[in-house]
Amino acid sequence: LFTVINESQKQQLESVSYSSRYALGLFYEAGTGIGVPWAARYVADNPCVRFISIDNKKRNIESPEIGPSVVVHTTVAFGSEHLDSDPEEVQQIILSHLQRIVPSLPKPSSIKCQRWRYSQVTRAVPNCPGQMILHTQPLLICGGDGFTRSNFDGCIESAMSLAEAVKPHL
């Protein structure tokens, strides 16, 4: 039996921190019209709602057989403030903010409120640009946005770093 991770690595991994947030999905019957001229919208001036998308429109999969859905992401501050709140209460707060932002939204046939305790990296693993080799025999490397930052560039940077770390072991 071998030790997979040493104490220094463990401390580095435990130092990673993540933001928390909520996502709200509003689901509609087929044929329901969502009367907005956009597929996605970044909301800069609301303490609760940060991003709204008409998901099927954003993904370019509009269909008369499938009802549209609206996805709402909250701000990091709202997610942290309400991390341990009752999901029903959180759902009502998000809906009230959404109603003020997009008053034309029809009543959905169903709603799903999802809490992400670990949403985006706020502090990555220190001194590990993109990856960490945990063990060499057998080779065990971990990577991802926890070693860079939570965006597409961070994911690509980690993937490139992982590929470079694997090369000498091939």
Q: What digits encode the pLDDT tens for the residues 29-41?
A: 998 989 899 999 9
Domain hosting 139: range is 7-16+124-167
Query: Is position 2 within any domain?
Result: no
Say which CATH number the domain at 31 has. Answer: 3.90.660.10
Confidence (pLDDT) at 1: 45
The reported pLDDT for the residue numbered 28 is 95
Q: How far is C-alpha 101 from the chain's CA centre? A: 21
| Element of type H or E holding 13 | helix 7-14
pLDDT under 50: residue ranges of the chain: 1
Asked if residue 136 is part of any domain, the answer here is yes
For residue range 76-112, list pLDDT tens digits in order: 999 999 999 999 999 999 999 999 999 999 999 999 9
E strand or H helix at 99, and its extent?
helix 87-101
CA separation for the pair 51, 42 (Å, rounded): 5
Provide the pLDDT for residue 2: 55
- CA gap 80, 14 in Å, rounded: 19
Same domain, 113 and 138: no
Query: 91: burial class by Cβ within 10 Å (0-12, 13-18, 19+)?
Result: middle
Judge if 54 and 117 occupy the same domain.
yes
Query: How many domains are contained in the chain?
Result: 2
Same domain (yes/no): 131, 101? no
Q: Which of 80, 92, 81 is nearest to 120 (CA)?
A: 80
**Tokens 């997979």 belong to which residue?**
4
d(CA 135, CA 165): 12
Tell me the CA distances in angstroms from 10 to 117, 118, 123, 143, 148, one per residue in order.
21, 18, 15, 14, 17
Residue 38 falls within a domain, yes or no?
yes
